[in-house]
Amino acid sequence: TPGPADGPAVTGPAPASPPPSPSAGPLVVDVSGKVARPGVHRLPAGSRVEDALEAAGGVRPGTDTSGLNRARLLTDGEQVAVGVDPAPGAGPVAGPGAAGVA
């Protein structure tokens, strides 16, 4: 008969595999404002704001991007607004999808 010397017994259901990471697939981001080709762009997972700007053809000359963190990782469904003033009365955008306005 098996006993404790035979090793630990495995009982119960197997642990569920973790859900797929939202960053596992391609990212879809909306780049708007003062870029050469504004619009929706598809980028590989792990892309950064700088990659989105390149996909949009680059920032137009003379655009102030000092408030834009080009090194920040993107999230799927995010909007990156470049050189656009926020709407009057609108507070700062908060949350993980906030790209900031440059």
Mean pLDDT of 81-99: 61
97 domain-assigned: no
Q: At residue 19, does pLDDT exceed 50?
A: no
pLDDT digits (tens, 9 = 90+) for 21-80: 554 689 999 999 999 999 999 999 999 999 999 999 999 999 999 989 999 999 999 999
Which one has a higher pLDDT value, 24 or 97? 24
Which amino acid is residue 22, in one-letter code? P
Owning domain of residue 33: 25-87
Query: Does residue 81 lie in a domain region?
Result: yes
State the CATH number of the domain containing residue 29.
Answer: 3.10.20.600
Check whether 95 has a pLDDT greater than 50. Answer: no
- Of 24, 21, 30, the C-alpha closest to 49 is 30
Say if 17 falls within a structural domain.
no
- Is 33 among the domain residues? yes
In the predicted structure, residue 11 carries a pLDDT above the cut 90: no
DSSP state of 23: T
* Secondary structure (DSSP) of 44-66: -TT-BHHHHHHHTT-BPTT---T
Q: Would you say residue 20 lies in a domain? A: no
Residue 101 lies in a domain: no
Residue 73 lies in a domain: yes
